[in-house]
Amino acid sequence: MTTGDKSPTTVPFLYDRSGNRYDVTDPRWRGDDGTPLALSPLRGITPDRIVTSERSLWRYQAAIPVDPKHRVSLGEGCTPMVPLTWDGRRVHFKLEWFNPTMSFKDRGVSVMISHLAGQGTRRVLEDSSGNGGASVAAYSAAAGIQARIIVPESTSAAKIVQSRAHGAQIELVGGTREQVSSEAIRQSEWITYASHNWHPFFLQGIKTVAYEIWEDLGFAAPDNVVLVAGAGSNILGCDIAFGELLDAGRIEHRPRLLVGQPEHWATIADAVNDLAPTTRRERVPTIAEGASIADPPRAPEAVQAIRRSGGAAVAVSEEAIRAAVRRLASRGLYAEPTSCVAIAALDHFIADGTIGADETTVVVLTGAGAKSSEKMASVFDQDTHR
Amino acid sequence: MTTGDKSPTTVPFLYDRSGNRYDVTDPRWRGDDGTPLALSPLRGITPDRIVTSERSLWRYQAAIPVDPKHRVSLGEGCTPMVPLTWDGRRVHFKLEWFNPTMSFKDRGVSVMISHLAGQGTRRVLEDSSGNGGASVAAYSAAAGIQARIIVPESTSAAKIVQSRAHGAQIELVGGTREQVSSEAIRQSEWITYASHNWHPFFLQGIKTVAYEIWEDLGFAAPDNVVLVAGAGSNILGCDIAFGELLDAGRIEHRPRLLVGQPEHWATIADAVNDLAPTTRRERVPTIAEGASIADPPRAPEAVQAIRRSGGAAVAVSEEAIRAAVRRLASRGLYAEPTSCVAIAALDHFIADGTIGADETTVVVLTGAGAKSSEKMASVFDQDTHR
């Protein structure tokens, strides 16, 4: 199996970077070679197979390789796409905080937990101090699965109250975010690792954001999709779904994926721009904390996906992110700073002419401002003290 | 005009409790007699007039008496309805935090601000320390209207960061919540009072929750709709919309409206249950702060609506509200304590046999747990310290 082999298979399978194949029922979360797993190409969806009476991402059930009888749904997906005039251009804002735990991660977690429930999984493990942990905790509760969430010791109690509320076991681990991940990988020897960064079925849920964009544009692809990247799952979800739609002849072209990252965490953008990682300064904290992933497991695939789309990536400054939060709020939309990295990227790609005046552009806003009240306050306090 | 006169009129008008009529373009927010205004009966909606490509409450545009060219939309409405087995019954949970500012109020505010924008309004006034203020601030920003939000002096900075972010002027006023309302009413002499408790067009947005329930049940009414009531706007919205659908022959019966209120704030429930207000203790703070409205302007109409539906109301204890928050979270849903008054009411009406085993029941959950992190933490801290 090479990534160039794009024919959909009747029976989907998993494969790693070395080309090793595994059955989809294999409980593994990475390949024998230690690399992330991907699902073999699927056929995607056609308009007539959409269950239009279903007000969740499960309207695309036909394109989700999970047995519907194990489906664990809390109403995720089917988020609105709000058109605004932005710098004289018509831009569509896809509001992903319209989700059960108020971030885009619910799409992936719903499909991943449904898959795991279908495998008879009773306990899952996740490492996250933010949106991922809350989402895995919520869906595990809905599925009757015991969740264990490993979080950095420094995490404030306020950030994990939702995970605890859903009955998850919280384990505090000292050290960096990377040491927390290492501990999770160690424990994955005996508990199923339901990692939003690693599990291949997570992306099968994330991809539905692209189906929705396509459906809401009257079954057409936009010219551009603007995204923030931490681990890059929205890049990969779009790559999978628009790839399926293209292969099936449902769209004419892939939309360009235009990606923003905080300047000190530009793991994917630097590679796209052929910058040596050393040209970046050390990993200092960013207000876009959801995008501060030092070592995204799927970074090479994300870089390939951006290039395949004819897209681009940019590293944006903290000041540009703060300005983006303020600018978006002045239009009535209250998105967390992480999401607003996409707004900073939008402004950048309009200013440099990448986004043309007559193009159709969609910006994905991944999470809610109200979930990051302290960070939002810091942006606006700064404003009032000027 | 009496409330018994139910024929839809071609040209809608406003009326007060004394029967005085006013043009819908009249900028007033209450009648000459000082009572709240209602809109004359409308024709409601038929399935063929729903704009199914629209993923917001504006799919029901045909039933919303606002000129579409002034529409101010941030993707409100079209919230999911998640079915769960609850005490052996199939119960549908309508998740109203899937909204721009994460509460049901966005439905009403979208329609109210659209109406006001159509009137050429440049400045609006609201009094609210919570969801109402954030929503009016967001939609005003989207409409290019200057919002002024009057809040109690005791309000924490964290609670008004979103309103400030949207550019609203915040005025802190000393005294009780009622004194804050009085100040708003005083200022309404010179600024348009966009009050979620008073403005008649607010209810024209809230009513769309009932259309959605009807549409999602295959164009049928449920047997029961379970609600929390503060000022009672969800009661009144359901009363309007199910009344329209009944009059048009689109449903067979009104669903029973089953209503919960915190025991010290049972302004509507006490009247439904023929209890003298003096039988209730003083107004002590409740964890369900969104439902702590001492003097709802439309209380008599809310009581009538519950009775007209054959429904019932109950005052629930603080302990029952806390237990409801925990019980709901254990199923994967994270709703603010105010919303969970409806869960406490659900449990009450199942236990006393009001809700039968084979009935279709919808519970409306009005707002997000993550917007009330401190209160949520207090519920679950209590748990861990047991």
ipTM for this prediction: 0.94
Measured between beta carbons, which residues in chain B are less than 8 angstroms from residue A134?
A: 334
Among chain B residues, the shortest Cα distance to A323 is held by: B165
Q: Tell me the β-bridge partners of A365.
A: A95
Reduce the DSSP state of residue B374 to 3 states and report it.
helix
pLDDT, position B278? 61
Domain segments of chain B as ranges? 81-100+204-384, 105-201
pLDDT digits (tens, 9 = 90+) for B224-268: 999 999 999 999 999 999 999 999 999 999 999 999 999 999 999
Distance, in Å, from the CA atom of A207 to the CA atom of A44, rounded to the nearest integer, reads 10
Answer positive or negative: Cα dihedral of A110, A113, A115, A120.
negative
Residue A252 Cα to chain centre, angstroms: 24
Cβ(B251)–Cβ(B210) below 8 Å: no
- Measured between alpha carbons, how far is B60 from B43 in angstroms, rounded to an integer? 12
CA–CA dist B186, B199 (Å, integer): 16
Q: How far is B334 from chain A (nearest CA, A)?
A: 7
Name the one residue in this structure whose structure tokens are 């000393």: B174
Instruction: List b or e across A342-361, with b for residues whose CB sees 16 or more CB atoms inside 10 angstroms.
Output: bbbbbbbbbeeebbeeeebb
pLDDT of residue B7: 65
Whole-angstrom Cα distance, residue A168 to residue B13?
53
Surface-to-core class of residue B169, CB atoms within 10 Å of its CB (0-12 exposed, 13-18 middle, 19+ buried): middle
Cβ-defined contact of A82 to B75 (cutoff 8 Å): yes
What is the predicted pLDDT for the residue at A239?
98
Residue A369 and residue B78: Cβ atoms within 8 Å?
no
Cβ atoms < 10 Å from Cβ of A120: 8
Say if B326 is an interface residue toward chain A (CB within 8 Å): yes
CA distance A125 to A132: 11
Q: Does B333 touch chain A if contact means CB atoms closer than 8 Å? A: yes
Q: Does A139 touch chain B (CB under 8 A)?
A: yes
Position A281 scores a pLDDT of: 63
Token pair of B320 as six digits:
């029952």
Nearest-CA distance from A379 to chain B in Å?
9
CB neighbours of B170 closer than 8 A, spacing ≥ 6? B149, B151, B160, B163, B164
CB A4 within 8 A of CB A207: no
Contact A75 B97 (CB under 8 A): no
Task: List the CATH code of the domain at A105-199.
Answer: 3.40.50.1100
> In the structure, how many helices (H) and strands (E) does chain B have?
12, 13
pLDDT of residue B281: 63
pLDDT of residue B175: 84
Does A81-102+202-384 match A105-199 in CATH topology?
yes
Look at residue B120 in the predicted model and tell me its pLDDT: 96
Second-level CATH architecture of B81-100+204-384: 3-Layer(aba) Sandwich (3.40)
Query: Are B332 and A74 a contacting pair at CB < 8 A?
Result: yes
pLDDT at A157: 79
Chain B contacts in chain A segment 205-244 (CB below 8 A): 216, 218
Which pLDDT tens digits describe chain B residue by residue (386 residues)? 444 455 676 789 999 999 999 999 999 999 999 999 999 999 999 999 999 999 999 999 999 999 999 999 999 999 999 999 999 999 999 999 999 999 999 999 999 999 999 999 999 999 987 889 999 999 999 999 999 999 988 887 777 999 999 999 999 999 887 889 899 999 999 999 999 999 999 999 999 999 999 999 999 999 999 999 999 999 999 999 999 999 999 999 999 999 999 999 999 999 999 998 665 667 899 999 999 998 999 999 999 999 999 999 999 999 999 999 999 999 999 999 999 999 999 999 999 999 999 999 999 999 999 888 889 999 998 544 43
Which two structure tokens, joined as six digits, stand for A123?
């306990």
User: Residue B292: phi, psi to the nearest 5?
Assistant: -95, 75
Cα(B152)–Cα(A214) distance, integer angstroms? 46
CATH fold label, A81-102+202-384: Rossmann fold (3.40.50)
* Residues paired with residue A364 on neighbouring β-strands, in sequence order: A94
Nearest to B107 by CA among B149, B64, B69, B70: B64
Report whether B291 contacts B236 (CB < 8 A).
no
β-pairing verdict for A21-23 and A13-15: antiparallel
Per-residue pLDDT of chain A (386 residues; tens, 9 = 90+): 444 455 676 789 999 999 999 999 999 999 999 999 999 999 999 999 999 999 999 999 999 999 999 999 999 999 999 999 999 999 999 999 999 999 999 999 999 999 999 999 999 999 987 889 999 999 999 999 999 999 988 887 777 999 999 999 999 999 887 889 899 999 999 999 999 999 999 999 999 999 999 999 999 999 999 999 999 999 999 999 999 999 999 999 999 999 999 999 999 999 999 998 665 667 899 999 999 998 999 999 999 999 999 999 999 999 999 999 999 999 999 999 999 999 999 999 999 999 999 999 999 999 999 888 889 999 998 544 43
Q: What architecture (CATH level 2) is domain B105-201?
A: 3-Layer(aba) Sandwich (3.40)
**Token pair recorded at residue B87:** 């005490």
**Residue spans of beta strands (DSSP E) within A17-160:** 21-23, 38-39, 81-86, 89-95, 123-127, 146-152
Q: Measured between alpha carbons, how far is B328 from B345 in angstroms, rounded to an integer? A: 13
The verdict on a CB contact (< 8 Å) between A74 and B102 is no
Residue A156: per-residue pLDDT: 77
- Give Cα A32 distance to the centre of its chain: 25
Is A57 within 8 Å of chain B by CB?
A: no
